[in-house]
Amino acid sequence: MRMVYPGSWMLINSAAIIPASTPGNQTRNLVQSSSHIPSGSSAETQSHKVTVPSLVSTSFVGCSRSIPATVLLQTAIVKTFDSYENIHWARALLDPASQLSLITENLAQKLQLRRQFCHQEIGGVGNSVVVSNHAVIVQLGSHCSDFVSEARCHILKRITRELPIRCLTSSLWKIPAGIVLADPQFHKPSAIDLLIGMEMYYDLLLEGFMKLGPEKPILQKTVFGWVASGKVGMIQSPTPMVAHITHFESLDDQIRHFWDIESCWLNSTNSLEETACENNFAATISRDHSGRYVVTLPKRASLINQLGNSKQIAMRRFSALERRLDGNPEQKSAYSEFINEYYRLKHMREIDDDEPSPNFKTYYLPHHGVEKVDSTTTKLRVVFDASCKTDSGISLNQALMVGPVVQDDLLAIILRFRMHRFV
């Protein structure tokens, strides 16, 4: 992207100069004691790495017991498409016992689809009822076929707990080679983003059914690949276990936790676009030879390529500006001084008419002067108008993402007046 000043054909660098500071990351060092294994096992002692959230020293005893059998439900990794046709992978639960299809609020926000107001009461076990107030039309696709379809999903904050309820050992089931699983990690607990109900369930099934054996999963072929479900065998814990865990925190960590508790912190409420702006900042920030920080503009990929021709309107507005400045010599002198200073600071460079057209998008920035007579410093300020639309109806401002507010929240400022003697 390059932005061109039409008056004397100056190229303005597509970058912003900003101050920045990067706080250092801190890590915790955990000291764990070894766990004692009874003498009947193959080893007398074994080291266990356990993370404990606070300072603690404790002992526990695990007795020999049988874990009840687990029933696997059908899960699949599916493609979902946002409003810009970008792909987002989601974990779906195929549920023929559900009348409706559901989507989590988190995934709905990622997809940024148009919401339809739809008050729907959803009943569950024991007459429990949750309410969904909105629904979205979600486009679904498969990672192993060209299947694409739409589903009307009601939005809930959470659909169900992580499935399965415990991690299972899939290597014991001997899944045949060549089987493309719809969810390769179906045996590991993970969150559910979508629930596909009865209205679409049988449209997903294909001819193909396989039993792996007693107390082993059943495989069913679908458009998303083979899904695993059914009852899997009991897991026996062979020996009792006694363990002792001690966790120490360094003095630095304890002091940091103290200040975290005493400080007023607000959770981040950034939108997806604001988060993308921060990610762009972290990925593209650099320093030039003079030590200044430089970062690229956060562009909306779906709109930046739709920028049309902006040279003609920029030239018309520049011609009108010249005629206006000819009637005010003092203002014209101040305007020329600003443009020359802009050039000396290398915020733009001159380009020749014979220079070949670039193979990237070009945007010509119109500009005008704003005069403030009562100002004691700069009486004339030159404003570049990036909101001027091209012939395609898209302006540069529309093609750039909007980042989060960098000032402190007003509530945090007010609380600092109440919490400390000196602000």
Residue 327 pLDDT greater than 80, yes or no: yes
pLDDT-based confidence at residue 68 (cuts at 50, 70, 90): low
Average pLDDT estimate for 24-31:
36
Kindly give, in sequence order, each residue whose CB lies less than 8 Å from that of residue 59, ignoring residues fewer than 6 positions away.
242, 243, 244, 245
Per-residue pLDDT tens over the stretch 258-314: 777 766 665 667 788 888 898 999 899 998 888 889 999 899 888 888 888 998 999
For residue 358, cis peptide bond before it (omega within 30 degrees of 0): no
- At residue 79, the pLDDT reads 95
Residue 105 confidence (pLDDT)? 94
Query: Who's near 37: CB < 8 A, 6+ residues apart?
Result: 43, 44, 45, 46, 241
pLDDT above 90 (res 73): yes
pLDDT above 70 as % of the chain? 78
> Span 104-118, mean pLDDT?
92
Q: What is the band of 422 on the pLDDT scale with cuts at 50, 70, 90?
A: confident
Residue 143 has pLDDT above 70, yes or no: yes
Asked whether the beta carbons of 221 and 236 are under 8 A apart, the reply is: no
pLDDT digits (tens, 9 = 90+) for 342-368: 899 888 888 887 777 777 788 899 999
In a 13 Å sphere around the CA of 349, the CA atoms on its Cβ side amount to: 7
Half-sphere exposure in the Cβ direction for 56 (13 Å, CA): 10
pLDDT at residue number 367: 92
Instruction: Indicate the domain borders of the chain.
Output: 1-21+250-423, 70-236
Residues 6+ apart with CB under 8 A from 362: 1, 2, 3, 4, 310, 311
How does residue 238 score in pLDDT terms, banded at 50, 70 and 90? Answer: very low
* Per-residue pLDDT at 204: 94
Which DSSP string do the residues of 219-256 spell out, in sequence order? EEEETTEEEEEEEE--EE--S-EEEEEEE---HHHHHH
What letter represents residue 353's amino acid? D
Q: Measured at the alpha carbon of residue 313, what is the angle toward residues 5 and 401, in degrees to the nearest 5? A: 70
- Angle ∠(89,90,94) on CA atoms, nearest 5: 135
Is residue 236 predicted with pLDDT exceeding 90?
Answer: no
pLDDT at 248: 55
CATH code of 70-236, in short, is 2.40.70.10
Whole-structure pTM value? 0.43
- Residue whose token pair is 């990237």: 360
Q: Render pLDDT for 176-221 as a digit per residue (tens, 0 to 9).
A: 888 999 999 998 999 999 999 999 999 999 999 999 888 889 999 9
Whether residue 19 has pLDDT greater than 80 = no
